[in-house]
Every structure is written in C-alpha cells, then in structure tokens.
Amino acid sequence: MLDREAGASELGLVLAARVSAFVVMSLIGGVWADRLQRKTVMIYTDITRLFIGIGLFIAAPAAPTAVLVVFVFLAGTATAFGMPASGAILPTILPKEFLQPANAARVITSRLGNIVGPGIAGILIATVGARYGFLFTGIMFAVGTLLLVRINEPKVEMDRTIKPSFVRELKEGLSLVWQIRWVAWSIAAFSVSITFVIGAEIVLIPIISRREFGTDFVYTTAMAVFSAGAVLTALVAARWKSLYPGLMSVIFWSFFASVPFALAFADSAWVIILAYFVAGMSTEPLGVFWTSALQREVPDELRARVMSVDAMASTALMPIGMAIAGPMMGIFGETNYLMFGVAVFLSANLLILFVPGFIRMKTPTKS
C-alpha cells in the first residue's frame, strides 16, 4: 500500500477490513467453537489462512485495493473462528492451576513471532519481494496445521436429542456476559478506550515512519520492541499471584498512553521506539489475568461463546476508529486527535475500577 503511495484513509480502510471481519464473525465463531471440537475449528482456520496466503501470492502484484480488502476480510474471519477456540480449549486439556502460566505461554510465543516476523518480512521483501512473502506465510500456516493435529482434546459430548437453534446458543453467550456484570462493563470500557488510541496509532505509525524519517525502520522496529516488552511482562504475569489482578492490570495498561504521546510530540525515532517498548510492557498483565479469569468464571459449555463476545465487543469500535483516524486528523490535526484519544483512554481506565468485581476479577459474593 505504501509503495502505491496510499494515504492514511486508504490504508485505514484495508487495515479496518480485518478488524471488521473479526467483529462481525466473532460471535458466529464462538458458537461453532462450543458446538465442535475446538481443535477442529483451529485446524480449519489455519487451512483457510493457508489458501489466503496462496491467493495473495497470485493476486497481490496487480490487485486493486478492493481485492486486498476482500483478502484481509477473509483473514479476519479466520481469526474470528480460531481465537475463541484457542482460548476455550486450554481448560479442557490443562488443570486449572496451570491456566495462568499457560495463557502467559500463549502470549510469549505469539509475541516472539511478532518479533521475528517483521525481520523475516523485511528480508523477504528485500530479496524476493512481498509477493513471495505471502506464499511463505501460507506455508507456515500449513506447518501450524500439522502441529495442531497432535493436540489431545477430549471429545465433545452432546445430547443429540436436543437441537438448540443457532440464535438461541448465541443469546445464551450474550446473556451470561450480561449476568457477570463486571465482565460486561469491563468489555464496554476496553472497547471505547482502545478505539481512539489503538485505531489511530495503527494507521499513523507506518505513515510517520516514512514521512518523518524516510524509512520503514521505525515502524518495523516499533512493532518488534512492542512484542519484546509484552514478552517481559507476560513472563512476570505467568507467576504473579495478585489479590487484585484488575487493579494491577489497569495500572500497567495505562502506560499504553506513551505511544500517542510519542507520536504526537517526539521528533526522535528512538523516543517513539522506546514508547512502543513501554506500551508492549503495559499490555500483558491485563491480557493474562483477564483471559485466566474468564476461563475460571465461565462454564466449559459456554466458554468459547463468552470469549467470542469479549473479543468482538472489545474491538467492535476499532474499525470505525481506524477508518476515521485519517479524516479526523485532517480536520483537527494529528496532535489534537491523539490527545483526545489519550483523555478518553485514561478516563475509561479510571472508571472501570469502580465496577464491583473488577479489581479482583471475580464475581462478588453477597454478604
């Protein structure tokens, strides 16, 4: 997109396609992950992404923006099915006392991939071009599929005499989220706060990297150090037995505001890179504690649906945030829009602490 001299609005449209697909399809993916073996759902999503990689290899050189939007939307759909399944499968194959370190391990392996990935992408683009990078990515999903086959998951026992409708199963997941009020209000707060901050920085960082510094180095390095910071705090969260995981999560998560501050005011590439490292460190106490709490609080037969509601709602407004980032910054200026996002982000973090149950990430018991 940048090689075509695409602007923030066009780039935001393509980036928003993946998140839009994730938002639209997450609830459907959660229902099917509770109906089928979670391993089966994960395998089919990796096979789908294999074909997406091959399709981009064939189409990418001359594909118009609309075609790229379709491919990215399909990739987001695959993620919408795979993510709830991968989160819900852990309590069925692990004892409860291992859930927190297991969730941290998921974060660490994912983030390490995000560190290595930009480096591999840069080498591929410099040597064989982005088109073959898509083919390489597809092959890696084929390898991932073979690894998933080895998971030993207990078979789902379903009462075949009862055939609940798809809509009813969907409503059951939504209803349970609303019953656990600290989960419902927390999801709402995260959804609003990440829209204006993450939506803007995702669109802005590759543009600033080229516009201000004339290279992609700042962008790719920022993504790598962000993941490195996340790995560090995920290692800590794996063994951190906090009595107040919600409070600790919000304290750490608030430091994500360093990114919009750096993008708005920093004139040094290394200041921006440092801000992304700090932001990476801010994410994973929340990620590990939150996922472990959902796995602990939600019954197995509803777990994938609840996790899909969480994933969908937490990102529901992000496509809008990404799509409007370019036009809004054009109207109000980059700095003003980024600071508005920071104000919304920090306010939401403060208000969520007053939701009963969030500080301990546990449903309060009546006295």
- Report the mean per-residue pLDDT for the chain: 84
Residue 354's pLDDT is what? Answer: 92
Q: What pLDDT score does 109 carry?
A: 86
User: Is residue 213 scored above 90 in pLDDT?
Assistant: no
Position 4 pLDDT exceeds 80 = no
Mean local confidence (pLDDT), 309-315 = 77
Is 366 part of a structural domain of the chain? Answer: no
Strand ranges, E, within 161-310: none
In-domain check, residue 362: no
Quick one: three-class SS letters along 259-297? HHHHHHHCCCHHHHHHHHHHHHHHHHHHHHHHHHHHHHH
What residue type is assigned to position 105 of the chain?
A
CA distance 358 to 229: 25
Average pLDDT of the residues in 297-306:
83
The CATH number given to whatever domain includes residue 116 is: 1.20.1250.20
**Domain of 23, in residue numbers:** 8-154+163-352
- What tokens appear for 364 in the block? 């309060």
What tokens appear for 104 in the block?
């941290």
**Two tokens at 351?**
């208000």
Question: Taking the CA atoms of the chain, what radius of gyration do you get in angstroms?
Answer: 20
Q: What is the pLDDT of residues 113-163, one digit of tens each?
A: 877 777 788 788 888 877 888 888 888 889 989 999 888 888 766 555 556
pLDDT tops 60 at residue 209: yes
The pLDDT score that the predictor gives to residue 346 is 92
Q: Which tokens sit at 250?
A: 């919000």
Total domains, the chain: 1
Distance of alpha carbon 26 from its chain centroid, rounded? 12
CA angle, residues 124, 216, 104, in degrees to nearest 5: 75
What average pLDDT does range 350-355 have in this prediction?
92
| Predicted pLDDT at 211 | 86
Token representation of residue 70:
């379709």
Domain-located, residue 264 = yes
Cα separation, 356 vs 350, in Å, equals 13
State the Cα angle at 362 between 367 and 153, rounded to 5°.
Answer: 135
For residue 306, pLDDT over 80 is answered with yes
Residue with tokens 């590990």: 288
Q: Which tokens is 29 given?
A: 């993916």
Residue 357, domain member (yes or no)? no
Per-residue pLDDT, 299:
83
Is 358 inside any structural domain? no
pTM of the model: 0.72
Confidence (pLDDT) at 164? 67
